[in-house]
Amino acid sequence: MHMDDRKFMILRTIIDDYISTAVPVGSRTISRKHGVGFSPATIRNEMSDLEELGYLAQPHTSAGRVPSAKAYRLYVDQLMRVHKLSELDMRRINDHLKMRVGEVEEVIRCAAQALSDVTNYTALVVAPHADSLRIKRVQLIPVTDGSALMIIVTSGGLVKDATVRVPEGVKSDLLYRISEMLTDQLGGLTLGEMRGRFALLFRDLKEHRRLLASVLDVMENRLREKPEEITVGGGSNLLAYPEYADIEKARTFLSVLESREKLYPLLRQAGSMEFSIRIGPENQLPELSDCSLVTAVYRVGTGSTGTLGILGPTRMDYGRVISVLDFMGKAISTLLPDSE
Amino acid sequence: MHMDDRKFMILRTIIDDYISTAVPVGSRTISRKHGVGFSPATIRNEMSDLEELGYLAQPHTSAGRVPSAKAYRLYVDQLMRVHKLSELDMRRINDHLKMRVGEVEEVIRCAAQALSDVTNYTALVVAPHADSLRIKRVQLIPVTDGSALMIIVTSGGLVKDATVRVPEGVKSDLLYRISEMLTDQLGGLTLGEMRGRFALLFRDLKEHRRLLASVLDVMENRLREKPEEITVGGGSNLLAYPEYADIEKARTFLSVLESREKLYPLLRQAGSMEFSIRIGPENQLPELSDCSLVTAVYRVGTGSTGTLGILGPTRMDYGRVISVLDFMGKAISTLLPDSE
DNA sequence: ATTAGCACTCGAAAGGTTAGAGTGCTAACA
DNA sequence: TGTTAGCACTCTAACCTTTCGAGTGCTAAT
């Protein structure tokens, strides 16, 4: 036995239905649907086949059928239809973002809020990865005698900072001159690429070897490995779905959201593909085995990318989520152009 | 009829018991408690009185009694006993905080985590209020031709930033010189106090009147009114309590946590008292009418203060929460001394 | 190949019963 | 006069039982 057009069609109808109702779907329901021209009995036979093929499961004998993870996989790969986003949705997203442009953190927070509001799922937004950001300016600001604040302004207007130890007695003027030189030498490079310039820098700044070493060390290590900020929006949204009627489940879900350590590898896994869909057990966190995560990248400036994600129940409305993510990704890129 | 020692004692016992069990407490239970030398019948009479006085309520005829908001008020004001924090708790808190000292944001995040872990309630931490922070350094960093980043380093090592428009063609060197001058003139003042120096500044920097106006405007308005960051920790903790067995309740609670707009006035209300306790309906948010919020201040540098808060069910362990907040407040102040 | 018909299954909802924790009242007691 | 034992009463939570209906798989007819 193998899949044929009718099986595909029926499976899609079942999944569509289940996504919108969360109720195991029976043969009558499908048969009644517009466009399906078969009696419940026929559908039953097909459903039985689909179950054998591993696409459907029955919670218990006298219940309807529920799609399996395998079915969702097939669905997102071949079956589903991605509609264009409605005017209303686009407007809602734009309304959220219509504000002071350019402050990256602000935009990220709004994006998370917008994504969760529009989809009714949970949104995750990851700031652009440090490695891929282009340095626009480096500036050292004296804080105390012995420490300074290093500020790095990057493409897209993102600001990263870190404290660096400096030899005592270094004056503001010197820090400024060094800042100018660092900006000269490192400007335009990414944090990943800058290592190549170190030798040059050391030559030009022989007399301040110690200071320089400490500054470069912080850039190389502290700044780069600092995990990106993850902003969460609409964590409580999922509690409205019957999947989370059980408080214990809700609780474990929410505590995952509170733990950057768990969230980070999850988003990492998605890599830098334009879109990525992880269904249920496909994501590595057992706590999230009945969630799906859909991610998309957004671009800021030239070359640096961040991640947008939607986390929802496995039966989430994948088509819509993808449209929303796509639209949002573009909206952000427009909002955060390379401010050159 | 009025309160006497025995009534106080019984009421305290009832509240203590209810706080730890969440089950309506009956006369037998109290009577059996060590230190109460009366039979259930006597206790029943007293309970009946306490109910009439508004301190107790009965969920239904054949259930035990539950303390009213009025009872909790009396409890925190007069009845409860605040124990010293256990060695273990102190160690747990210190373990959370034992890390790179000085990065304020980092410390705040850890504090929220620690507070929620140790209390099993939800923690709120508010960064020090902008108005009360002492300016240590002002620095303008060119970003694009036409805009610069203003960085303000304040006492306690806190960093605030904002984008300012600058006239086109302004060079890095000039921005640096102006930064130095601003630092000179404004250093040591709080954002609230600096207005007094404006006249002086304008005199010294006549030729850059436009630039200066735009910088000062951003400091005066944008920076000061920017609501402080509120960090939430352990939002999912409360779901473990029977009070939140109802998903709908859990959901409204969590969505309050996600809305800075609602959280901010809530914390504002606490003012700058050393400790503040708002029980149930005493806080203005109807969504939180069966929560209590206990807050304490922490100090960073000289004069600037931030707020620590614990949000839990009305029957929370007030004594313990206060000890924890007290300890944490001091720990933070030690961790973030005025880095002068 | 499709479908009508039918017996069967099983969970959710509704109703009924019971057990026990707690009460208020009364009367006895120190 | 304050305290307490005793008792009838109340009310919920927990457990059973029954019923209802949605859904199935199989068989036989189309």
Lowest mean pLDDT: which of A51-60, A150-159, B144-153?
A: A150-159
d(CA A268, CA A207): 41
Q: Give me the pLDDT at residue A303, please.
A: 77
Query: What is the side-by-side order of every strand in the sheet holding B275-279?
Result: B230-233, B122-126, B304-313, B291-300, B275-279
Q: Please count the other Cβ atoms lying within 10 Å of the Cβ belonging to residue B224.
A: 16
What part of B 231-270 touches A (C-beta under 8 Å)?
A: 233-236, 239-240, 244-245, 247, 250-251, 254-255, 257-258
**End-to-end Cα, chain B, rounded Å:** 60
Q: Nearest CA of chain A to the CA of B205: how many Å?
A: 20
Residue A338, pLDDT > 70, answer no
Which site among A133, A139, A158 would you substitute to test the B interface, given the most B Cβ atoms closer than 10 Å to its Cβ? A139
Q: Which residues of B touch A151 (CB under 8 A)?
A: 139, 141, 149, 151
Residue among B282, B301, B293, B284 at smallest CA distance from B322: B293
Q: How far apart are CA B227 and CA B233, in angstroms?
A: 19
**pLDDT exceeds 90 at position A252:** yes
Which pair of tokens denotes residue A65? 């059928």
Please list every residue in chain A whose beta carbon sits closer than 8 Å to the beta carbon of residue B339: 143-144, 147
Task: Mark the nucleotides of strand D covered by protein, meaning any atom under 7 Å from a CB.
Answer: 3-6, 9-12, 21-27
Calpha distance A70→A279 (Å, rounded): 9
**Percent share of chain A, pLDDT over 70:** 98
Mean pLDDT of A53-71: 96
Check CB contact under 8 Å for A239 and B233: no
Residues of chain B scoring pLDDT < 70: 99-102, 337-340
Give the pLDDT confidence score for residue A339 in this predicted structure.
52
| Three-state DSSP class for residue B94 | helix
Confidence label for A333 from pLDDT (cuts 50, 70 and 90): confident
Residues 220-239 of chain B: which lie with beta carbon within 7 Å of strand C? Answer: none
Residue A23 has pLDDT above 50, yes or no: yes
Mean pLDDT of A172-201: 89
The rounded distance, in Å, linking the Cα atoms of B308 and B119 is 13
| pTM, full prediction | 0.92
Q: Is the pLDDT of residue A332 over 50?
A: yes
Stretch A283-292: mean pLDDT, rounded? Answer: 94
With 50 as the cut, is the pLDDT of residue A340 above it? no
pLDDT band at A202 (very low <50, low <70, confident <90, very high): confident
- Determine the pLDDT at residue B115: 98
Lowest mean pLDDT across A96-105, A170-179, A264-273, B305-314: A96-105
Supply the angle between the helices B40-52 and B5-21 in degrees, to the nearest 10. 90
Residue A173 one-letter amino acid? D
Residue A102 is predicted with a pLDDT of: 58
The token duo for A57 is 């499961």
CB-CB neighbors (< 8 A) of B254 in chain A: 235-236, 239, 254
Which positions ≥6 away from B265 have C-beta within 8 Å?
Answer: B284
pLDDT in the model for residue A324: 98
How far B288 CA sits from the closest chain A CA (Å)? 16
How many Å does it take to go from CA B75 to C1' D3?
A: 27
pLDDT recorded at residue B18: 98
3-class DSSP state of B183: helix
On the question of pLDDT at A39 being above 90, the answer is yes
pLDDT value of residue A225? 76
Whether the CB-CB separation of A284 and A266 falls below 8 Å is answered with: yes
Distances A175 to A144, A212, A224 between C-alpha atoms, Å: 13, 10, 22
